[in-house]
Amino acid sequence: MLIRGAVTLLAGLMALPLEAQELPGCWRRGNPAALAERASPPDSAVATVDGARIKVCYSRPSARGRTIMGGLVPYGEPWRLGANEATSIHLPFAAEIAGVRVEPGSYSLYVIPGETEWTVAVNRSVERWGIPIDDGVRAQDVGRGTVPVERLDQHVEQLTLRFGSVRQGATELIVEWEHTRVRIPIRKL
């Protein structure tokens, strides 16, 4: 009887549409105590698009009086979009991220910041340290898109990634730090 119940439960889980299944956890290197002591703490954001949950995992560095864009984060150079591990996004459905078509799954994101626009790279390599973004990492790019930069009047001390409002199967991943904001569009296909 126990085996029959387990088989029934497993069959029921397998019958769930991908949108209803649980999202993967954030990949982190180190134990919980070490993660809690990091200068750039781990964080995540979740949004629900047409009943399906999407998740972004990243670490949150602080400005600490430093010039960020064009300084600590140089223009024209690949940046891991956070600190520590690669920033990742988990999607249970096919989507477009900054115009890049992806199948359901997990991807890392990195950017090449500029003063007026950023290039957003969607990459297959998820469980890795965020740097270096070398030829081996770039070889796993699914594609790239560009997004405009907005100037913020209010200073944002700690890097923040959050999802915007959801409308008609689409949202945006909003990135804010120092006096910069970019909106990375995400659309369910």
pLDDT tens string 59-109: 999 999 999 999 999 999 999 999 999 999 999 999 999 999 999 999 999
Mean pLDDT value across residues 114-129: 95
Q: Which ranges constitute the DSSP H helices of the chain?
A: 2-15, 32-36, 135-138
Q: Is residue 84 part of a domain?
A: yes
- Write out the residue range of the structural domain in which residue 131 sits: 22-188
Residue 11 lies in a domain: no
pLDDT, position 22: 62
pLDDT digits (tens, 9 = 90+) for 3-53: 554 444 444 444 444 444 566 778 777 777 777 778 899 999 999 999 999
Give the distance from CA 46 to its chain's centroid.
Answer: 10
Structural domains in the chain (count): 1
User: What is the per-residue pLDDT for 1?
Assistant: 53
Cα of first residue to Cα of last residue in the chain, in angstroms, is 42
Which residue, among 169, 167, 173, has the nearest Cα to 188 in the 3D structure?
169
On whether residue 155 sits in a domain, the answer given is yes
> What pTM was estimated for this model as a whole?
0.85
Residue 14 lies in a domain: no
**What percent of the chain lies above the pLDDT cut of 70?**
88
Q: Is residue 17 part of a domain?
A: no
- Contact 121/78 with Cβ under 8 angstroms? yes
